[in-house]
Amino acid sequence: MKGFYFMQQLMPLGTIVNVITILCGSTIGLILHNRFPDKIKNIIFQGLGLCTFVIGMQMTLKVTNLLTLIFAVLIGGIIGEAIDLDKKLNKLIAFFQKKETDNIFAEGLITAFLLFCIGSMTIVGSLNEGLRSDHTLLLTKATLDGFSSIALASTYGIGVIFSVIPLFLFQGGITVLALYFHNVFSPLLITQITATGGILVLAVALGLLDIKKIKVTNLLPALLVIIFFTLI
């Protein structure tokens, strides 16, 4: 019975749902071929932006040491800007898109994987699922990815569907690793990581709502900084 419960915990539910939404969205995209109304797409993303904002607020309000959180975000942001993670990510996407220009299948697969997996919601959501058994953020991301995949599949074709394979391995892998090392993290450390992740989620929400575009990728080092500060 205990073994069954552990296996149930080990299943990356958020990632599995994410895979399903991308498969559904990609199929719709292949059928519609850019006929998805913009006004419907806009209201959906605005609604998801509001929900993401609420999730980010809930996560951030779990903070135990606010001063440590502030310093982690500031220092993490400085590190991210210094090495310009956001620019490097965009260059990586552009490199693969250019490299695979003659192969629309590979271009669609790589572009979709990079857009779906390399971001704050992927990392924070997977950590949340592994450390706290909280699937909320990944389920929200799954919804966003589902609608994004409609547009991607209508442009790049069937390659977008196959992006779910590396997505499952990457995103699910982070969740399983976080679960495996759960005992290494104290309740205080988990709380501080969650609160810092909440700040990043709020930044994502502001972008979805077209309020302020923030280079959220450049804030990712804050997750490492908060671990260091909390441990010392």
pLDDT at 11: 65
Say how far apart CA 197 and CA 48 lie, in whole Å. 18
- 10 has a pLDDT exceeding 60: no
pLDDT at 97: 61
Number of domains in the chain: 1
pLDDT tens track for 44-92: 788 888 998 999 999 999 898 899 999 999 999 999 999 988 888 777 7
pLDDT at 6: 46
pLDDT at 107: 76
pLDDT at 9: 53
Structural domain for 141, as ranges: 19-32+39-231
Say how far apart CA 154 and CA 152 lie, in whole Å. 5
206 within a domain of the structure (yes/no) = yes
Lowest-pLDDT range of 16-30, 129-143, 174-188: 174-188
pLDDT at 172: 93
pLDDT at 118: 74
Q: Distance of alpha carbon 206 from its chain centroid, rounded?
A: 15
Per-residue CA distances from 173 to 147, 176, 205 (Å): 24, 5, 25
- The reported pTM is 0.79
pLDDT at 199: 93
13 within a domain of the structure (yes/no) = no
189 within a domain of the structure (yes/no) = yes
**Between 141 and 44, whose confidence is greater?**
141
Percent of the chain with pLDDT over 70: 91
Q: How confident is the model at residue 96 (pLDDT cuts 50, 70, 90)?
A: low
Percent of the chain with pLDDT over 90: 43
122 within a domain of the structure (yes/no) = yes
5 within a domain of the structure (yes/no) = no
Task: State the chain's mean pLDDT as an integer.
Answer: 85
Rg (CA), the chain: 18
4 within a domain of the structure (yes/no) = no
112 within a domain of the structure (yes/no) = yes
218 within a domain of the structure (yes/no) = yes
Q: Scanning the structure block, which residue is given the tokens 């779910």?
A: 164
pLDDT tens track for 177-205: 998 888 888 889 889 999 999 999 999 89
pLDDT at 8: 44
